[in-house]
Amino acid sequence: MPSAPTKLYADDVSLLVVLLDTNPFFWSTSSLPFSKFLSHVLSFLNSILLLNQINQIVVIATGCNSCDYIYDSSLSTNPGIENGKLPALCSELLKKLEDFVTRDEQLNKQQSQSLPPTTTSSLLSGSLSMALCYIQRVFRSGPLHPHPRILCVQGSSDGPEQYVAIMNSIFSAQRSMVPIDSCYIGSNNSAFLQQASYITGGVYQKPQQLDGLFQYLSTVFATDLHSRTFLQLPKSVGVDFRASCFCHKKTIDMGFICSVCLSIFCKHHKKCSTCGSVFGQAQSDVASASNLKRKTPET
Amino acid sequence: MASGHVIKRAKYKTSPKGAGTPGVLKMTENKIMFKPNDPTSASKIDVEFRLIKGYKNTKEGSNNPPLLNLSLEQGGSYIFEFENFLDLQVCREFVGNALTKSGDAAKAKSGDTAKAKSGEAVKATSDRSTVTYPDEQLISSAEMELRIKLLRENSELQNLHKKFVLGNILTESEFWATRKKLLDGDIGTKSKQRVGFKSSMILDIKPMTDGRTNKVTFNLTPEIKYQIFALKPAVHRAFLNHVPNKMTEKDFWTKYFRAEYLHSTKNAVAAAAEAAEDEELAIFLKDDDILANAARQKIRRVDPTLDMEADQGDDYMHLPDHGIFRDGSKEITDSQHEQFKRTFLQDLNRQGEVVLEGRTIDVELEDPRTVAEALAQSRQESDENAKQERLDRISRMTEMEDLQAPHDHPLAPLCIKDPRDYFDSQQLKTSDDTRAGSEQLRCSLSSEEAYGSLRGSISEIKAMGLSDPVVRPEVAVMVLNGLTQNISSTKFQLGKNAQEGILNSLPNTTKEELLHHWISIQELLRHFWSSYPITTSYLYAKVSRVKDAMSKIYPQLEEIKESVPSDLRQQVFLLVRPMHQALDAAFQHYEADLQKRSAKGGDKPNGYV
């Protein structure tokens, strides 16, 4: 961790971990071309760095088959302009991104040989975990550190199969007081990101005009956490709190909950697949009736 | 005295203290004439009674001379001094009768003239002289006062009144016609309550004895007669049967009180002896069979779940002295003459029942015959209802609670505290369905193509660099507006806070203007729609007047919309829209009606039907 203790971390210094959705299936259908999207995001990242000299940025690519760090501003050594066209940040990031996409494609090919392609959603849980790991490392670097936050720029829809992992990441972020902001550019709202932002105290934003993405990013997500307390950021109108069942990974609004470990199932099971608790056979009718709980959206 | 005339010697005075002119006062049915003794005197009077408003006179026994003061309608008065109070008395009665007679006639006459007058007035104010209005209702001064009071108390009403009535859009009577309730409501509070029976035992009409002779006097008023009918159906029946065929009313009551007197002496033996002699008297002395029947019926009507036998011991009889005139405990029981003995308890119960029932008829009490008949009629009516009521009651009372299906309703009432809770969740549900569709679309592309295009994008941006204006300024402004509107707009507060309406967020002047327009529009629309279907030319004129007024309000609403700051415009628009819609509907109906009319009869351009 190169963040030297000599650096004076005031309360407006941020560590921004950006999770970029690089799901090729999403971008091939999106109304916003990936190149335009990158242009917006890169400008945004630049402006974050301009806001404070010691602001720090980490970019993690969220692919279909893998996730990886593609940029860390604390590691970049050559500031200045390369090619005369792109800032150093961009060319470095784009190069890494290209490498990442190639690797991800290879992984996809390997997987599709062994398994039929099932998933088209990005591995949000993976990138979230990576972001949290990085932040934990920053926390442990010393008593003074930039205020971390996570920004998910997500486009692909939720993968219910990641429900448990994502929820665990969310709770972990909540525990370490790391807000997860989300900018969802897909066609519908993402329940995962809504819950993530709701639980961690972040901002969930679904831009209506994708060609103004930069404006959204800089207006809503650029300010540091301290300044946020003085701003009136858009509030989410409602949160989809529905869960995915652990057995079939389906999104359900009513299901069965294990009374021991709180695992969620869409059907009654004799035994909890998570903790192994055996549900009484005799009282199964009663148990099923009482354990059937509805999750309702709340604001 | 009612017919003919009165001639008395009297002095005519202009003031009570003056000497006066002696002469002869002659009063006929509709005229008062005074001829002074001195034919040269100017104080000759010849007036009609309808010009006289009222009269006053001095009282006998006071120090004043017998004076009669006739006040005139136009002001001023005639004062006559009579020779004695007897003359004054005669003249006063005559004047009184004459005045009431002529007063009735005058009222009718003045009503006609007033109607004519008001009709003219309306004609004068209206711009269409050809249009005739229905007669303005003659309003009493009391009603006028009430209207003024209402206007004074209610500034909103006053504004409306000023705007529409003084602005010649509505006439006074039209304005108030829609507010009959207001006027009635106020009068309603004044209306007197129906007076019920006195709760004192009217059976205990105490006889008055003069102490010297054996004569006993009972005082009877129509009120007491009515109460007796109500209390004792048997007497009531006897009265209907016997009066006036068998005996006169006076004989009837004499017999009744004779029987009562026998009761009050508590001499059952004597009563029995008397009854044996006179069968009519026996009616009053015997137990009231109608009451007995009623009692039997009532027992049947008692709550079936009540155990009558268990309550039988709870009587009053053994308790000594209740401090009431007739004390049951002192009535010695004699089984032989049981039927001629009424218990105090029966009387007391009957009295209580009648008092609670209250007055069931509403007729003049003067003639006992009509009272008796009216009472009989009202009893019959209630009997018919009673039967059905009893059946209902039994079925209600015998219902066993634990044998019934539970009463709770299968539906829970809809209660949405925050409407967005509901709508958002609905929206999320529908969005799920579309999500599935988009996923399928995604899978249609091969992974190779997808990755290829992604890489293409990356190399494209590498070659092209960042797009020069990252965001076009117009788009940026739009986004910024969208974001800040989300924050500032009251749209997000709507429904969140029940106490804070949209109106309160508006500036005060706008708010008042809006409210005022709303009230005006309501008033006009009420008049507009109540005029349809147009059957008279009067209604036609009224509708077009109201329509003109409404079309004047229309642009005013637009002005309000323009005048408010842009962030509130949306709210004001929402408020104004229903007003516009209501007005549009009225205009549309007006146009449609006009077309129908012109299509039907081109020769009647004025809208006559």
Comparing C-alpha atoms, which of B242, B206, B237 is closest to residue B224? B206
Question: ipTM for the complex?
Answer: 0.76
Q: Are B175 and B520 in contact (CB under 8 A)?
A: no
CA distance A298 to A253: 13
Is the pLDDT confidence value at A162 over 80? Answer: yes
Comparing C-alpha atoms, which of B103, B22, B115, B7 is closest to residue B55? B103
Residues B262-272, mean pLDDT to the nearest whole number: 68
Q: pLDDT-based confidence at B459, cuts 50/70/90?
A: confident
Which of B417, B462, B484 is the best mutation test for A, with the most CBs of A within 10 A? B462
Which of A22, A39, A43, A66 is the best mutation test for B, with the most CBs of B within 10 A? A39
**Dihedral sign computed on CA atoms, order A221, A226, A231, A233:** positive
Q: Are B359 and B196 in contact (CB under 8 A)?
A: yes
Instruction: Give the pLDDT score at A81.
Output: 54
Cα–Cα distances (Å) from B16 to A37, B42, B601, in that order, read: 112, 18, 72
What pLDDT digit, counting tens, does each position of A46-104 carry? Answer: 899 888 888 899 999 998 889 999 988 888 766 555 555 677 778 888 888 989 998 98
CA distance A179 to B579: 47
Q: Are A68 and A28 in contact (CB under 8 A)?
A: no
Q: pLDDT-based confidence at B335, cuts 50/70/90?
A: very low
Higher pLDDT, B326 or B477: B477
H or E element that contains B258: helix B249-264
Encode burial over B126-162: b for 16+ CB neighbours within 10 A, e otherwise.
Answer: beeeebebeebeebeeeeeebbeebbeeeeebeebbe
Instruction: Give the pLDDT score at B140.
Output: 67
Looking at chain B, the whole-number percentage of residues with pLDDT higher than 70 is: 55
Residue count of chain B? 609
Name the minimum distance, in Å, from the CA of B493 to any CA of chain A: 11
pTM as predicted: 0.42
Torsions phi, psi of B546, nearest 5? -65, -40
CA distance B588 to B592: 6
Which of A20, A30, A34, A110 is the best mutation test for B, with the most CBs of B within 10 A? A34
H or E element that contains B23: strand B21-27
**Binary contact (A187, B449; C-beta < 8 A):** no
**Binary contact (A29, B441; C-beta < 8 A):** yes
What pLDDT digit, counting tens, does each position of B336-358 carry? Answer: 455 555 566 777 777 777 777 77
Q: Is A199 helix (H, G, I), strand (E, B) or coil?
A: helix
Task: Name every chain A residue with its beta carbon within 8 A of the beta carbon of B428.
Answer: 189, 191, 238, 240, 242, 297
| Cβ-based neighbours of A9, under 8 Å, separated by 6 or more | A54, A144, A145, A146
As given in the structure block, the two tokens for residue A111 are: 């997987």
Nearest CA in chain A to B466: A39
CA A262 to chain centre: 24
**Binary contact (B483, A219; C-beta < 8 A):** yes
As given in the structure block, the two tokens for residue A296 are: 């309702």
Interface size A-B, in CB pairs within 8 Å, comes to 153
CATH topology of domain A14-228: Rossmann fold (3.40.50)
* Portions of chain A given CATH number 3.40.50.410: 14-228
Task: Name every chain B residue with its beta carbon within 8 A of the beta carbon of A25.
Answer: 442-443, 445, 447, 450
Q: pLDDT-based confidence at A161, cuts 50/70/90?
A: confident
Over chain B, what is the mean pLDDT? 69
As given in the structure block, the two tokens for residue B107 are: 């009222």
Residues B269-282, mean pLDDT to the nearest whole number: 70
Range picked from A1-5, A87-91, B516-520 for highest mean pLDDT: B516-520
Q: Are A181 and A152 in contact (CB under 8 A)?
A: yes
**Binary contact (B457, A219; C-beta < 8 A):** no
Instruction: Give the pLDDT score at A171.
Output: 94
CA distance A287 to B207: 86
Residue B153 at interface with chain A, using a CB cutoff of 8 Å: no
Q: Are B99 and B54 in contact (CB under 8 A)?
A: yes
**Binary contact (B435, A215; C-beta < 8 A):** no
Task: Name every chain B residue with its beta carbon within 8 A of the beta carbon of A22.
Answer: 454
Task: Name every chain A residue with its beta carbon within 8 A of the beta carbon of B472.
Answer: 211
* Chain B stretch 459-498, residues whose beta carbon is closer than 8 A to a beta carbon of chain A: 459-462, 464-467, 470-472, 475-476, 478-480, 482-483, 486-487, 492
Q: Are A31 and A210 in contact (CB under 8 A)?
A: yes
What pLDDT digit, counting tens, does each position of A90-134 carry? Answer: 888 888 898 999 898 888 888 776 655 555 788 999 999 999 999
Nearest CA in chain B to A157: B435
Name the minimum distance, in Å, from the CA of B479 to any CA of chain A: 6
Q: pLDDT-based confidence at B364, cuts 50/70/90?
A: low
Please name the amino acid found at residue A271.
Answer: K
As given in the structure block, the two tokens for residue B277 are: 């002699």
Instruction: Point out the least confidently predicted range of B184-188, B277-281, B501-505, B553-557.
Output: B184-188
What is the three-state SS of A128-181? HHHHHHHHHHHHCCCCCCCEEEEEEEECCCCCHHHHHHHHHHHHHHHHCCCCEE
Residues B482-493, mean pLDDT to the nearest whole number: 62
| Cβ-based neighbours of B400, under 8 Å, separated by 6 or more | none
CA distance B172 to B164: 9
Q: Are A182 and A190 in contact (CB under 8 A)?
A: yes
Task: Name every chain B residue with its beta carbon within 8 A of the beta carbon of A35.
Answer: 457-458, 460-461, 464
H or E element that contains B480: helix B473-488
Nearest CA in chain A to B467: A39
Q: pLDDT-based confidence at B127, cuts 50/70/90?
A: very low
Higher pLDDT, B28 or A176: A176
* Chain B stretch 278-297, residues whose beta carbon is closer than 8 A to a beta carbon of chain A: none
Nearest CA in chain A to B471: A212
* CA geometry: angle A45, A47, A49, nearest 5 deg: 75
**Binary contact (B475, A211; C-beta < 8 A):** yes
**Binary contact (B471, A215; C-beta < 8 A):** yes
Residue B282 neighbours by CB distance under 10 Å = 17
Instruction: Give the pLDDT score at A182.
Output: 93
| Residues pairing with B80 in the sheet | B12, B68
**Binary contact (A187, B438; C-beta < 8 A):** yes
Residues A144-153, mean pLDDT to the nearest whole number: 90
As given in the structure block, the two tokens for residue B5 are: 């005339």
Task: Name every chain A residue with its beta carbon within 8 A of the beta carbon of B470.
Answer: 39-40, 43, 214
| Cβ-based neighbours of A51, under 8 Å, separated by 6 or more | A14, A222, A224
Instruction: Give the pLDDT score at B110.
Output: 46
CA distance B259 to B232: 13
Torsion, CA A46, CA A50, CA A55, CA A61, rounded to 10: 0
Please name the amino acid found at residue B206.
Answer: K
Task: Name every chain B residue with its beta carbon within 8 A of the beta carbon of A191.
Answer: 428
Task: Name every chain A residue with its beta carbon within 8 A of the beta carbon of B438.
Answer: 29, 157, 187-188
